[in-house]
A and B are shown apart, each in its own frame.
Chain A
Amino acid sequence: MRLLLKGGRVVDPRNGLDETRDVLIEGGKVLAVDATIDAEGVRTLGVEGKVVVPGLIDMHVHLREPGREDEETIESGTRAAARGGFVAVACMPNTNPPLDTGAAVRFVVSRARETGHVRVLPVGAITKGLAGAELAEAGELRRAGAVAVSDDGHPVMNSGIMRHAMEYACMFDLPIISHAEDAELSAGGAMNEGYWSTRLGLPGIPAAAEEAMVARDILLAGLTGARLHIAHVSTAGSVELVRRAKEKGVAVTCEATPHHFSLTDEAVAGYDTNTKVNPPLRCASDVEAVRRGLADGVIDAIASDHAPHTVEEKEVEYELAAFGMIGLETSLALAVTGLVRPGLLTLDQLVERMSCGPARILGLDWPGIVPGAEANITVIDPDASFLVDPAEFASLSRNTPFAGRRLFGKVAATIVAGKLAYEAPGVWPTR
């Protein structure tokens, strides 16, 4: 299939490009990028007024397959990803069974090949059964296709095990993704500890529960030379710790979620369990620090931590509700609305945080929109707005705190290896 994107603004920080360009795609690859391309027998999409960028990557999602196919499947989750503008997602290993063996990783790879709409990059477990006790076989996980290791959802509480995991991961050049949480400090908590937990009478999770582990893992990364990536940083203290570690030359990167730069813990008032997430929504000064960290690049990536849950797991008492919210279909728009439109991030930086940054952390070959490169492209209309309506989501789950919000930044098309994985209904002017 040949595809011509005509008249769009190509924003590609990898290649220092921000110009109006036509992009011709053939055989899954970018064939040409030029001021004007005229080609016969090609499907032409008029993308005037839209932004054409290297395909977005969400490096932190939960696809729930195998084990909880009622919440999400690789098929539905990747359809949601395509709808959200993502050409690739890294899926976390806390499935049932967990991705702690080569066989489990191969299952995800093969299911993704059969049913996936976008590229799926499995993250293997750090420890067997995510139990934090014995190392999983990282070499085997790597061979099966894992791009990183993580016990996401569970902190590795034993510092000795974490040290060995880092040393061992170095042999395979696998980044370690740390879910930074001191489980003793966070025990029993349901929301951020602070004024709002006091007011609402909910048990709190202090910022120190996250920061203590961010600090520990930075020290261990310094000790071992491992590539450390901190998942979902949510506090001013965490951002500061990563900033100082980077200045010292420690190989550390980190990500932040759209909910952590968009909402404060005040959103919990009313006990809407869709606001229950781990790490929890923090206070205004933390949100501000995360936004600044994204702007100045201390935070390398925006990742959704897409965590689907059924209504039954959410429509219960706040303390009993499952942690997590979905994000694949709102992530880009929250970034455009909350970061780009207020002038915190340029489009260039947005693409850096949502495409090039994640690709670099995960060690992907990601040349951007240049001839010869695999055609992974997202077409965005940054000025178009929409009302968040969970009923329209491709995800099987509906647990978002953003329902009813008007957001800017619509996805017009998602192109994965040259194929249209998603095109917004009625988006192309007839010509």
Chain B
Amino acid sequence: MALKHKDLLGLEYLDRDEIETILDTAVPMKEIFTRDIKKLPTLRGKTMVNLFYEPSTRTRTSFELAGKWMSADVTNIATSTSSVAKGESLKDTARTIEALGANFIVIRHQMAGAPHLVARTVRASVVNAGDGRHEHPTQALLDLFTIRERLGRIEGLKVAIVGDILHSRVARSNIWGLTKLGAHVTVCGPRTLIPPDVSRMGVEVTTSLDEALAGSDVVNVLRMQLERQKKGLFPSIREYSDLYGLTREKVKKCKPDVLILHPGPANLGVEITEEVAESPSAAVHQQVTNGVACRMAVLYLLSGGGKPGEVAA
């Protein structure tokens, strides 16, 4: 089945079937990595514009490769070099990009809801590549894909999300995706970085790392933005690392075959030690590879692919 939406603005707006369709579609997409010639004709003649209002290497490159491997024409707009620097509004920028013939607009923006504004303005398909602290749906999709690949299922798993939940779009998209697919989610971090009423999103909340890790199948470690300390949200990196840093010792609290995820880029030695990040339990690099496959699946399905009887790749 295809997606029921013009855009991918968040996992909040997708139902379980749609999420599973994307994950299923990403499986054949990943096979392309093993090929000598990484090219599918799927999006030939389509144009994709990456509109990034925040610096990003990982996500932007991943989208760029996803588009290129499916033969789309891809161009990147970084806002410091565009007319945005001259004060052009987001709406106007979106209209301009559409006038240039874009079929896909991939947007990363520091403010929640910015992709929604673009999606309302243009006919092109808008893909949210991270909006403020709201959502980062393709990151959560690649996390789900990686969990399924490594552990074979998502339903019934115990997943801990650790770190700055308040400011994390990765956390929100993961919460939507994981709970819709039947996982038990616990969020964990200092009280100052837990958003109010987050339990109403269907998760357990704890400030104790030991409690969060106990018996967990998956731990998703969030990046700690070091500048939060200046805003008085926690006293020091040292104490944060002491209370919430994932070390080899802490990992022992989890299930023996625990899977450790990190959206990157990691502050090694702060939220996770290098030893843990590079251990066989961690899937940090596998996540990056899977990211391209999931984004290919999203672009393919948004372009109208995935209708009954169609073969993905």
Contacts and interface: CB of A to CB of B under 8 A. Distances in A.
B56 to A, nearest CB: 17
Contacts of B200: 195, 198
A198 B91 CA distance: 25
Given A195-B196, A271-B116, A316-B90, A201 B201 contact: no
A193 to B, nearest CB: 6
Interface in B181-210: 195-198, 200-201
Contact of A316 (B89, B112, B169): B89
A423 interface: no
Contacts of B262: none
Name which of B112, B114, B196, B197 has the most chain A CB atoms within 10 A of its CB.
Answer: B112
B64 interface: no
Interface in B122-163: 131-135
A195 B90 contact: no
A202 interface: yes
B101 to A, nearest CB: 23
Contacts of B117: 271, 315-317
B131 A201 contact: yes
A1 interface: no
B113 interface: yes
A317 B200 CA distance: 26
A202 B113 contact: yes
B112 A200 contact: yes
A314 to B, nearest CB: 11
Nearest to A315: B91
Contacts of A204: 195-196
A271 B197 contact: no
B113 A271 contact: yes
Nearest to A198: B195
Contact of B172 (A195, A201, A319, A320): A201
A248 interface: no
A318 B172 CA distance: 18
By size class, the interface of chain A is 20 to 34
B77 interface: no
B89 A198 contact: no
Contacts of B169: 201
B132 A201 contact: yes
B109 interface: yes
Contacts of B172: 199, 201
B132 A198 contact: no
A200 B131 CA distance: 10
Chain B interface helix/strand/loop/mixed: mixed
B1 interface: no
B231 to A, nearest CB: 10
Interface in B99-116: 109, 111-114, 116
Interface in A161-203: 193-195, 197-203
A270 B117 CA distance: 9
Given A200-B134, A201-B132, A201-B134, A318 B197 contact: no
Interface in A130-172: none
Given A198-B201, A201-B135, A202-B132, A317 B114 contact: yes
A201 B112 contact: yes
A202 B172 CA distance: 12
A122 to B, nearest CB: 34
Contacts of A199: 12, 172, 201
Given A201-B169, A271-B113, A316 B195 contact: no
Given A201-B134, A202-B132, A318 B113 contact: yes
A315 B201 CA distance: 29
B93 to A, nearest CB: 11
A195 B113 contact: no
A294 to B, nearest CB: 26
B133 to A, nearest CB: 4
Nearest to A187: B231
Contacts of B133: 201-203
A318 B115 CA distance: 11
Interface string B82-103: 0000000111000000000000
A319 B169 CA distance: 16
Name which of A270, A312, A316 has the most chain B CB atoms within 10 A of its CB.
Answer: A316
A288 B296 CA distance: 48
Interface in A261-289: 270-271
Nearest to B112: A201
A354 B69 CA distance: 65
Interface of A: 193-195, 197-204, 270-271, 312, 315-320
Given A201-B112, A318-B111, 17 more contacts: A194-B196, A195-B196, A198-B195, A198-B198, A198-B201, A199-B172, A200-B112, A200-B113, A201-B132, A201-B133, A201-B135, A201-B169, A202-B113, A270-B116, A316-B117, A317-B90, A317-B113
The 9 closest A-B CB pairs, nearest first, are A201-B134, A271-B113, A195-B197, A198-B195, A201-B133, A201-B112, A317-B111, A318-B113, A319-B111
23 contacts: A195-B200, A197-B195, A198-B196, A198-B198, A200-B112, A200-B113, A201-B131, A201-B132, A201-B133, A201-B134, A201-B135, A201-B172, A202-B113, A202-B133, A202-B134, A204-B196, A270-B116, A315-B117, A316-B90, A316-B117, A317-B109, A317-B113, A319-B132
Interface of B: 12, 89-91, 109, 111-114, 116-117, 131-135, 169, 172, 195-198, 200-201
